[in-house]
Amino acid sequence: MNTKPEIDKLIEKYKAKKGVLIPLLQDVQSIEGYLSRENMKYIAEKMGIREAEIFGVATFYSMFRLKPLGKHIIRVCKGTACHVSGANNISTAIRNVLDLKDDEDQTADGFFTFIEVACLGCCSLAPVIMIDDKTYGKLTSEKVSQIVKSYYK
| Sites of contact with ligand FES (CB under 6 A) | 77, 79-82, 119-123, 126, 128
Closest separation between CB of residue 77 and ligand FES, Å? 3
Strand order in the sheet with 72-77: 112-117, 72-77, 129-131, 134-136
Is residue 137 within 8 A of residue 125, CB to CB? The reply is yes
Closest separation between CB of residue 71 and ligand FES, Å? 24
Nearest to ligand FES of 44, 123 (CB atom): 123
Rg of the chain in Å (alpha carbons): 18
Nearest to ligand FES of 52, 118 (CB atom): 118
Nearest to ligand FES of 40, 77 (CB atom): 77
Closest separation between CB of residue 149 and ligand FES, Å? 22
Closest separation between CB of residue 121 and ligand FES, Å? 6
Query: What is the spatial distance between Cα 86 and Cα 144, in angstroms, rounded to a whole number?
Result: 12
Taking CB atoms, the residue at the shortest distance from ligand FES is 79
Query: What is the spatial distance between Cα 147 and Cα 87, in angstroms, rounded to a whole number?
Result: 15
135's enclosing H/E stretch is strand 134-136
